[in-house]
Structure 1
Amino acid sequence: MQKSVLVLIVFIFTSTASIAGEVRFIANQSVPEFVISKEDVSEIFLGIRVQWSDKTKIKFVLNGDETSHNALMKKYIKKSPSQFKYYWRNMLYTGKGAVPKTFDSVDDLIKYVQSTEGAISYIDSTVKADNVKMISVK
């Protein structure tokens, strides 16, 4: 009996841990895309891709939640958070871009995406977000 309970506890813990740190992408309803590639994600958040398919300007913002940000960096950007920060500082100092806006509050981030044409960001997969478009990554 104790062994069964222990196995159940381990299963629940590992299932929850696999969900934590997963991100999903949210966009303003005006964004024409429903599916983007991993390469698209990287290009968007590195400021390489600057327009959606309908020529609307992409306005990406960062999530200040460390777990979500680290998950984005590891899975899609392939940079450490410090490398990403350095990348954007370099873009700023060379006049090639501005440091992306970061939201410490996920509610504020969602409100920004809801109200800003062309906006995209990422949230923890467990966070509920209404009135935004969910973007799938292939």
Structure 2
Amino acid sequence: MKIFNNILKALTLSSVLIAGLAQAEIAVIVSASNANGNLDQDTIARVFLGKSKTFPDGSQAVPVDQTAGSDSREAFSSTVLGKSSSQLKAYWSRLIFTGKGTPPKESGDDAAVKNLVANNPNLIGYVDSAVVDGSVKVVYKF
């Protein structure tokens, strides 16, 4: 019985460590040439939900989503937007049907989004913070 308890403790500890490693930090990014600094969660959510088309400095803000189902997108949607993927799908379906909005373009994985954002000061996206380099500026992290 003692061996069984030790094995159970080891498995529990291993699963906690693996779960901690699986949760990467997500960075919301803009081009390094974008004049905006830190943005708050509300501002970011308004841009990604189509409620605002500009950054705080008045320049155009164009959101870029990762491919549906990616870990980064799921984390961003639930944490920043406060919606599950099914809630977001329903939200955008209503707006599209009424002609009141268009969802952000899906632009691939972390590397693809980083490259797009780096080359256009009007874009805003999110990536795993491990891929951030000098070509982009982090405006929010979670």
TM-score range, shorter chain: 0.7 to 0.9
1:97 is aligned, of 97, 101, 118, to 101
Q: Distance in 2 between matches of 1:37 and 1:50?
A: 15
Question: In structure 2, what is the equivalent of residue 87 of structure 1?
Answer: 91
Q: Distance in 2 between matches of 1:88 and 1:9?
A: 40
| 1:10 positional shift | 5.4
Query: Which is worse superposed, 95-104 or 69-78?
Result: 95-104
* Amino acid in the other structure paired with 1:116: N
Kindly indicate whether residue 20 of structure 2 is the aligned counterpart of residue 15 of structure 1. Answer: yes
Q: 1:60–1:119: 8 Å Cα contact kept in structure 2?
A: yes
Identity of aligned residues (%): 26
Give the match's secondary structure for 1:135. Answer: strand
| 1:42 positional shift | 1.4
Question: In structure 2, what is the equivalent of residue 53 of structure 1?
Answer: 56
Unaligned runs of 5+ in 1: none
Q: 2:92–2:101: 8 Å Cα contact kept in structure 1?
A: yes
| 1:118 positional shift | 1.4
Q: 1:37–1:137: 8 Å Cα contact kept in structure 2?
A: no
Q: Distance in 1 between matches of 2:64 and 2:137?
A: 15
Unaligned runs of 5+ in 2: 1-5
CA RMSD of aligned residues (A): 2.6
| 1:126 positional shift | 2.9
Q: Distance in 1 between matches of 2:57 and 2:48?
A: 18
Task: Name the CA shift for 1:82/1:14 in 2 (closer, same or farther; >3 Å).
Answer: closer
Question: In structure 2, what is the equivalent of residue 30 of structure 1?
Answer: 33
Task: Name the CA shift for 1:69/1:105 in 2 (closer, same or farther; >3 Å).
Answer: closer
Q: 1:29–1:133: 8 Å Cα contact kept in structure 2?
A: yes
Paired residues in the alignment total 134
Point out the structure with max Rg over C-alpha: 2
Give the match's secondary structure for 2:130. Answer: coil
Q: Distance in 2 between matches of 1:30 and 1:126?
A: 20
* Amino acid in the other structure paired with 1:75: T
